[in-house]
Each structure stands twice: as structure tokens, then as C-alpha cells.
Amino acid sequence: MFSSVEGSASRNFFYTAVLWMAIGMSFGLFAAVLLIFPDLVKGIPVLEYFTFGRVRPAHTNLVLFGWLSGAYFATLFYMIPRLCGTALWSERLGNFTVVLHNLLMTAYAVTLLLGMNAGREYAESPWVLKILTVVLFGLVFFNVIMTLANRKEKELYVTAWYMLGAVVTTPIIYVVGNQFLMPTNPITGVNDSVVNWFYGHNILGYWFTPIGVGAVYYLLPKLTGNPIWSHRLSMIGFWVIFFVYGPTGAHHLVNGPVPYWLQTVAIAFSVCLIVPVWTVLTNFYGTMNGRWGALKESVPLKFTVSAMVFYFITCFQGPMQSLRSVSAITHFTNWVVGHAHLALVGTFSFIMFATIYYALPRLVGREIWSAKLMDWHFWLSLIGFTLFFVSLTVGGLVQGSDWAANQSANFIASVINQRPFNIARAVGGAMILGAQFLFIFNIFKTATAGSRFTAGSAEAGSAVAGA
Amino acid sequence: MGLYGGIALVLGFAGLLGALGLLPRRWRWHGYRYGRWLLAIGLLVLVGGGFHASAAGTAERQLGDEAWGRLATQQLLGTLVVFVSFWGGVYYLARRAGVLNMGESVKYAILRNGDPPEPTASRAARPGEQRLMWIPFAAMGILAAFFTVGVLVAIFHIPPGARP
């Protein structure tokens, strides 16, 4: 029933992940439109399932778990065997997890649109689905760990370390953060918030960041022909990020009713996150040295370089907004929404676009169907996203200033002041979504009509790089 | 604490780069010689600054409760002990198992792992192309400046009474 063809699980995860991306981002655009026209679905029977309160969690869950996590599973199944010099431990199990992932995401979408919401950020789905999510992650990770255990390469490259770190820590973060998967929600009140943000921020730090950064360390040598500049520095970055990220979650609760020391620890550790970011960026610039010309011709490299810019900005913003004085202005505003998108769209989705453009031809044996569409995908995504996050960031500062200046006396004026920013955000979002439809069309045509992938010129590159 | 943290980060990272031999050639010798000292001073500033900030911190003073300060110190140390023990243990086991390579040999294998690099990897560099490196550099600088100025304007534009 499930294919055992080498590479099939990775390929299938990539295919279905891009479909969830389209669905998830469509919900996101619809939510952005609802912010401009709040009464759009009012009084229309079928559309009552598409109110902002339902569409918004459907958007976040489908892009986080349907798109990004699906693409990450594919990346794990693609890169880990190649780093280990062996095949994936079980393609059959891998393909089973593809099916489970898709069933689960369908259940996520249906339950969230029906209004079944646990009320915790990024953990809104009903507890039965959370248990199945742990099963899914567990099976994928078991496959990865067994592949690592059967490897032929004795020593592990930094990408494998980042991915192994993610595989080990993510289940712990998920189980703890989701109230130990108990249906009765034993942790309540302020403690619930602390645990929720332990999960909410660490799922970024221990799942989305390590796989994304690990993929960059894999892609950069493949796209430039240079080995990474310093493996030692990359390993220092790995150990520091895994040590430092844990206590940062409480910076979401700064100035709130949680222990002061916990806030301070979260702020201090958030500032320390600059260290691993520095290691990644130093390595990025060192590895690119002498190969910047490749940027003109390689769309995956364009996506990677843009992702590095957004990664820096995300990690510049993050420690800054964790400070009490800055948080007092930016918290609960559109600034934070912009920051989250900088990480998840500008950085990690861009890295996944680069990964798909690199890996898919090797998995299906076909060249990317249209280079021109790849370029369109890149430029529309980049311009649309820049408009999107700049409007959210400026809008967030205006919103924070309005609230601080007017306190609660004139709240509705602050809502009206957001209108131009909401329109700009929706336009940027439409450009991003349009770019993704071009991307999906290109992927579809690659799978069905792409010319045969030849590794001849690529092997020449390998020889040059080896020299 | 932010000031101490910033100074410690700059000193620590510069020291780390120096000690690892990752500075530009003309500074490399100084890096080997003084890097570890910079790193040590950075750590000292971080730890000493942390104690100073917690001793002189406004929260403890305003609350006027010494027990609160002691509790915070104990819990902070407890958090650090948990994290250092966990990751220290993982690091020790990885080293002992022989899979941890902090050196450079492992990075060359990826170029010859049977997964062919892109054709751009073999592309010969042309004169002037290196200047493309300034595009992401400028983008990072402009955006970072834009955010910083935006935040400062927002903070200083609100009435003094409402300022946090």
C-alpha cells in the first residue's frame, strides 16, 4: 500500500506541503480582508464558519503544521540520508506518515472552522488531534533516528546536529506545552500562560529554527561550491542556541502578572540569542565569499540570501522587543504579527522554497519546468512580503503609540488609524499568495513535464569545489 | 542589565572569534593572543553585571522584601543548573561517543556525498561580482536602523506620564 521507492516519502511530503501552504495562506489573506471589511461574512449562513476567530487559527495551524512542518519532514527525509551515506530507514513508514499528516491537517482545518478551539496560541486543536500529532512527530523522528543509527558517516555534519537536536527536543516541548496531553487542562491561570509560551516560543526555537538553519548549512555548499567557512563556529552556534532558547518563552509575558525573575531570565536569554545568529551570519558571509556572482543565476540562492537578511532582522527585533520598555509599546500590536511573519515566512518559508527548488529535481529526476516562473515567484514573494511586514511594523508602532497616548479613552480611533496599514498588509499578502500559486503551478509542471535532470554540470561543480 | 549584556556580548563574541582564529589575517595573531582574555572579561561582565543588576534592581527595592530577592536568585540559579546540566550531559555523551566533530574535516564530505551541487557551484567568478555582498549587508543595516528609529520615536512621542 505504501511505496518503498527511495526518495518517495520526501517527494510526497514536499507535494502535499505546498498544497497546505496554499490553503493556509488563503485563510491568512481572508483574515486580512476581514480586518478591512469586518462585516463581510455577517448574516451569510455558510460563511459563518469563516469569521475571523475561526479563520485566524486555521491559518496559523495550517501554515505551521501543514506547510512548514510538512516541508520540514520532507527536508529531514531528504538531507539526513545523504548526510549519513545511507538510505532512509523506512520509506514505507515515511509514506505512512505522509498520509497521517494529511488526514491530521484535514481534521485540524475542519475542527478549527467548526469553532473547536483550545484557546492557546499555536495549540488550538482538540486534544485528540494533539495526541495524533505527537504520534505523527514520533513516527517521523523514529525514522530519522533509525537512519542516523544506521549511518555510514561516523562524524556528523552541522546540519545533522541541528536536525538531531530538533528531533530530540520537539516532542518534549510539544507534550509539556500542550498540558501533558491531558483532556482536563490541569494547569490553569497564569501558569497556563507561562506553559503556553514555553511551548509557543520554543516550538520556533527548537523545531522551526534548527531545521531551517540546518537546511541553510546544507544548501550553501551545494549552491556555492564552497565548504562552510567554519564548522567549529557553526557547532558553537548549535550548542548555544540549544542551551539559550529554553527560558525565552516568558518574554511574551513581559510586564504581565508573572514572576519578575522569570521575565528577567527570559529577557537575558533572549538577548543572548544574538550569539547563535551571529555564528550563522558570519558563516554565511564567509561561505559566500568569492561566490556572490552565483546570486545572479540561482533562484534558490536568492531565496537563501533573502532568508538570511530576514533572519538577521527577526533576531535583531526579537531581543529588542523582549526589553521591557520596547515591549510596553509593541506588545499586542501588529508589530508582533509582523515579527512572527518575518521568522515564519521571510526566513523559514524562504529557506524551504530554496530547499524545494534544490531537492525536487533530484527527487523526481526532472529539471524545474520554468526558470522564469521561479524568478517571478522570488520577486513577487520578496516585494509582497516586504510590503507586508513593513506595513505591519509601522502599523504596530502607530497602534502602540495610540494606546499609550490615549490609554483606553479613544480605543476606536486606534482601530481606525490601522486601516491604511491593514489595506497595505492585505495587498502584500495577496502578492505573496499569488507568488505561491505560480510556485505550485511550476512544481506541478516540473513533476509532469519537466525535462530530464542532468547531473553533468553539477558534478563538474562538485569537482571544482572538492579541489 | 541591557548595557552589561551588550558589552559582554561584544567582548565575548570578539574574543571567541579571536580565540578560534576566525579574524581577518592581519588581526589573527592578536586574536590568538588576546581572544581568550576578551572572552573571559566578557563573561565576567555578564556575571558581575547580572549580580549588580539584581542587587540594585528596582523590583527588589520597590517591593522592599529581601525574601523576594532571595527567591528570585534561587530560582534563577535553579534554571541555570537545569539547563547547564542537561546540555552539559548531552555534550559529554556526544564527545564520548566520538560523533562530535568541532573541527573542520567533516565539512568537506558534504561536497562529495553523491548529491550533486548546483551548476552555479562551478561557475567562475567575474570581476566586480563580489560587490553584490553589499546588497544584503545594506538591507540588514537599513532595516535594523529603521526599526530602532521607529521604536525610539514611538517611545519618546508618548506623553511623559504614559511613558513606561
pLDDT at residue B42 greater than cutoff 70:
yes
Q: B9 and B46 share a domain?
A: yes
Which residue out of A83, A157, A261, A358 would a mutagenesis test of the B interface target, given it has the greatest number of B Cβ atoms within 10 Å?
A: A261
- Proportion of chain B above pLDDT 90, given as a percent: 10
Over residues A24-31, mean pLDDT = 97
Question: pLDDT band at A460, cuts 50/70/90?
Answer: very low
| Residue A3, in any domain of the structure | no
- Proportion of chain A above pLDDT 90, given as a percent: 71
Residue B41 pLDDT: 87
Over residues A375-390, mean pLDDT = 97
Distance CA A393, CA B146 (A): 10
| Residue B2, in any domain of the structure | yes
Instruction: Determine contact: A235 vs chain B, CB below 8 A.
Output: yes
| Residue B160, in any domain of the structure | yes
* Domain boundaries, position B146: 132-164
Residue A458 pLDDT: 47
Residue A230 pLDDT: 92
Question: pLDDT band at B4, cuts 50/70/90?
Answer: confident
Over residues A427-439, mean pLDDT = 97
Residue B75 pLDDT: 67
CB contact under 8 A, A222 and B119: no
Over residues A404-431, mean pLDDT = 88
| Residue A265, in any domain of the structure | yes
Alpha helices in chain B (DSSP H): 2-19, 25-55, 58-63, 66-97, 134-157
Question: pLDDT band at A403, cuts 50/70/90?
Answer: confident
Instruction: Determine contact: B47 vs chain A, CB below 8 A.
Output: no
**Chain A nearest CA to B129, separation (Å):** 5
| Residue A463, in any domain of the structure | no
pLDDT at residue A463 greater than cutoff 50:
no
* 8-47 of A, contacting B, C-beta below 8 A: none
Q: Name the residue with higher pLDDT: B71 or A54.
A: A54
Which chain A residues contact residue B84 at CB under 8 A? 243
pTM equals 0.88
pLDDT digits 0-9 by tens, A141-200:
999 999 998 999 888 899 999 999 999 889 889 988 888 888 887 888 888 999 999 999
Instruction: Determine contact: B5 vs chain A, CB below 8 A.
Output: yes
* 69-88 of B, contacting A, C-beta below 8 A: 71-73, 75-76, 79, 83-84, 87
Over residues A231-250, mean pLDDT = 90
Instruction: Determine contact: B159 vs chain A, CB below 8 A.
Output: yes
Instruction: Determine contact: B152 vs chain A, CB below 8 A.
Output: no
Q: B77 and B42 share a domain?
A: no
CB contact under 8 A, B154 and A264: no
Residue A235 and residue B102 in contact, taking contact as beta carbons nearer than 8 Å: yes
Instruction: Determine contact: B110 vs chain A, CB below 8 A.
Output: yes
Among residues B38, B56, B74, the one where a domain terminates is B56
Residue B1 pLDDT: 64
| Residue A2, in any domain of the structure | no
| Residue B152, in any domain of the structure | yes
- Which residue of A85, A328, A464 is in closest CB contact with B122? A464
3-state secondary structure chain A: CCCCCCCHHHHHHHHHHHHHHHHHHHHHHHHHHHHHCCCCCCCCCHHHHHCHHHHHHHHHHHHHHHHHHHHHHHHHHHHHHHHHCCCCCCHHHHHHHHHHHHHHHHHHHHHHHCCCCCCCCCCCCCHHHHHHHHHHHHHHHHHHHHHHHCCCCCCCCHHHHHHHHHHHHHHHHHHHHCHHHCCCCCCCHHHHHHHHHHHHHHHHHHHHHHHHHHHHHHHHHHHHCCCCCCHHHHHHHHHHHHHHCHHHHHHHHCCCCCCHHHHHHHHHHHHHCHHHHHHHHHHHHHHHCCCHHHHHCCHHHHHHHHHHHHHHHHHHHHHHHHCHHHHHHHCCCHHHHHHHHHHHHHHHHHHHHHHHHHHHHHHHCECCCCHHHHHHHHHHHHHHHHHHHHHHHHHHHHHHHHHHHHCCCCHHHHHHHCHHHHHHHHHHHHHHHHHHHHHHHHHHHHHHHCCECCCHHHHHHHHHHHC
pLDDT digits 0-9 by tens, A90-148:
999 999 999 999 999 999 999 999 999 988 889 999 989 999 999 999 999 999 999 99
CATH number of the domain that A284 lies in?
Answer: 1.20.210.10
Which chain A residues contact residue B13 at CB under 8 A? 275, 278
**Chain A nearest CA to B109, separation (Å):** 9
Q: Name the residue with higher pLDDT: A57 or A149.
A: A57
The number of domains in chain A is: 1
Size of interface A-B (CB pairs under 8 A): 246
- Which residue of A155, A298, A308 is in closest CB contact with B120? A298
Q: Name the residue with higher pLDDT: A305 or B51.
A: A305
Residue B40 pLDDT: 84
Q: What is the average pLDDT value for chain A, to the nearest integer?
A: 91
Q: Name the residue with higher pLDDT: A268 or B139.
A: B139
- Which residue of A262, A308, A324 is in closest CB contact with B164? A324
Instruction: Determine contact: B160 vs chain A, CB below 8 A.
Output: no
pLDDT digits 0-9 by tens, A12-27:
999 999 999 999 999 9
pLDDT digits 0-9 by tens, A362-380:
999 999 999 999 999 999 9
Q: B77 and B46 share a domain?
A: no
Residue A15 pLDDT: 97
Residue B10 pLDDT: 79
Q: Name the residue with higher pLDDT: A305 or B77.
A: A305
Output the CA–CA distances (angstroms, integers) from residue A283 to A211, A277, A348, A352, in the order listed.
17, 10, 18, 19
Q: B45 and B71 share a domain?
A: no
Closest residue of B to A226, CA-based?
B121
The number of domains in chain B is: 3
pLDDT at residue A274 greater than cutoff 50:
yes
Which chain A residues contact residue B157 at CB under 8 A? 401, 405
| Residue A1, in any domain of the structure | no
Question: pLDDT band at A465, cuts 50/70/90?
Answer: very low
Which chain A residues contact residue B103 at CB under 8 A? 231-232
ipTM of the complex in this document: 0.86
**Chain B nearest CA to A119, separation (Å):** 28
* 300-359 of A, contacting B, C-beta below 8 A: 300-301, 305-306, 308-309, 312-313, 316-317, 320, 323-326, 328-330, 358
Q: B70 and B52 share a domain?
A: no
Question: pLDDT band at B39, cuts 50/70/90?
Answer: confident
CB contact under 8 A, B104 and A230: yes
| Residue B155, in any domain of the structure | yes
Question: pLDDT band at B60, cuts 50/70/90?
Answer: very low
pLDDT at residue A251 greater than cutoff 80:
yes
Question: pLDDT band at B162, cuts 50/70/90?
Answer: low
* Domain boundaries, position A149: 8-452
Residue A140 and residue A76 in contact, taking contact as beta carbons nearer than 8 Å: yes
pLDDT at residue B58 greater than cutoff 60:
no
CB contact under 8 A, A464 and B153: no
Which chain B residues contact residue A275 at CB under 8 A? 9, 12-13
pLDDT at residue A317 greater than cutoff 50:
yes
| Residue A464, in any domain of the structure | no
pLDDT at residue B127 greater than cutoff 70:
yes
CB contact under 8 A, B75 and A261: yes
Which chain B residues contact residue A405 at CB under 8 A? 157-159, 162
And the C-alpha cell for B105?
A: 574535516
Question: pLDDT band at B55, cuts 50/70/90?
Answer: low
| Residue A24, in any domain of the structure | yes
Instruction: Determine contact: A457 vs chain B, CB below 8 A.
Output: yes
| Residue A16, in any domain of the structure | yes
Residue A28 pLDDT: 97
Which residue out of A202, A244, A260 would a mutagenesis test of the B interface target, given it has the greatest number of B Cβ atoms within 10 Å?
A: A260
Task: Quickly count: other Cβ atoms within 10 Å of residue A131's Cβ.
Answer: 14
